[in-house]
Amino acid sequence: MSTGAKAALGCGGAVVILLVLLLMGACMSVLSDDPPREPRATSAPEAVTEAENEQAVEEEEEEEPAFPEPETLEYSGVGDSVVEIDLHDDARIATLSHGGASNFTVRTLTSGGDNSDMLANVIGAYEGRVLYNAGEREEAAALEISADGSWEITLEPLSTAVSWGEDEDEFVGAGDEVVQLAWTPEGITALSMTHDGASNFAIWSYTSTDRDLLVNEIGAYEGQVSLAAGTLLLAVTADGNWTFTR
């Protein structure tokens, strides 16, 4: 190959190399002009979902029950009184005390002023718990109290009844009381009872739909009665010590 041809070939190769370099530079320039891609979020959606779940659980825990228990109502005074109370017709427990020496009576009044339940009718000092509004009654709107001393009355939900435990065969108490069964009578359930008082001894049993007078005696008592299946509560009227055995 002549010297001129070699020179032409060398120049041509240089031109090709120069063109390739220019093309590569243009491509790199185009690529560099593209905006940078944002990093893809992979854990964010999971974090949001977790936060939403926690918020839903908190809201569920804060929701009030469909049938909230009534608030405890407390009243006190001295001597004869008529006390207006929050209107209600659901069954509740009244805890009563009296520090006088004469007659102490407490009864509920309807909104029309009529007598409804007799909660207490005793002589002298008294402490006890009684069930009221347990039958078909009008709404209790007030308490009428006859007393010669100081008195205190607390109206409470049924859940405050003393509990007769599932593992307990015997239950012991004294005076007026409301007992909630933590076990469910089934079939024929015999209940033995004793009372050592001198006055009225009466026991009412309550299911979700009915009630039954089990005992109604004066003075000391010892006997056995049958307890209806599904009994939930026992309301005791007594002036002495008493026992239940199953």
User: What pLDDT band is residue 9 in, cutting at 50, 70 and 90?
Assistant: very low
Write down the mean pLDDT value for the chain.
83
At the second CATH level, the architecture of 73-158 is Sandwich (2.60)
pLDDT tens-place string over residues 200-220: 999 999 999 999 999 999 999
Q: What's the pLDDT at 162?
A: 97
Q: What's the pLDDT at 241?
A: 99
Q: Is the pLDDT of residue 11 over 70?
A: no
Triad 240, 233, 214: Cα angle to 5°: 60
More confident residue, 190 or 63: 190
| Cα atoms in the 13 Å half-sphere on the side-chain side of 21 | 6
Helix (H) or strand (E) holding 218: strand 211-218
Domain ranges of the chain: 73-158, 161-245
Q: What's the pLDDT at 82?
A: 98
Percent of the chain clearing pLDDT 70 (strictly above): 72
- How much is the pTM? 0.71
Q: What's the pLDDT at 136?
A: 74
Q: What's the pLDDT at 68?
A: 65
Gap between the Cα atoms of 52 and 178, Å rounded: 46
Q: What's the pLDDT at 22?
A: 43
Q: What's the pLDDT at 135?
A: 79
Neighbour tally for 3: CB within 10 Å: 7
Task: Calculate the CA 24 to chain-centre distance.
Answer: 77
User: What pLDDT band is residue 57 in, cutting at 50, 70 and 90?
Assistant: low
Q: How would you classify the pairing of strands 233-237 and 200-206? A: antiparallel
Gap between the Cα atoms of 21 and 17, Å rounded: 6
Q: Which residue has the tokens 């859940």?
A: 159
Same fold, 73-158 and 161-245: yes
CATH code for the part of the protein at 161-245: 2.60.120.380
Of 115, 96, 107, 94, the closest CA to residue 145 belongs to 107
Cβ 145 vs Cβ 106: under 8 Å: yes
Q: Is the pLDDT of residue 155 over 90?
A: yes
Q: What's the pLDDT at 73?
A: 95
Torsion angle (degrees, nearest 10) of CA 170, 173, 175, 176? -70
Q: What's the pLDDT at 29?
A: 46
Q: Is the pLDDT of residue 116 over 80?
A: yes
Q: Is the pLDDT of residue 228 over 60?
A: yes
| Cα atoms in the 13 Å half-sphere on the side-chain side of 104 | 24
Q: What's the pLDDT at 143?
A: 98
Q: Is the pLDDT of residue 145 over 60?
A: yes
Q: Is the pLDDT of residue 146 over 50?
A: yes
Instruction: Please report the DSSP string for 61-124 in residue order.
Output: HHSPPSSPPPPPEEEEEESSEEEEEEEE-S-EEEEEEE--SSEEEEEEE-TTS-EEEEEEEEES
Triad 224, 198, 196: Cα angle to 5°: 45
pLDDT tens-place string over residues 60-80: 555 544 446 889 999 999 999
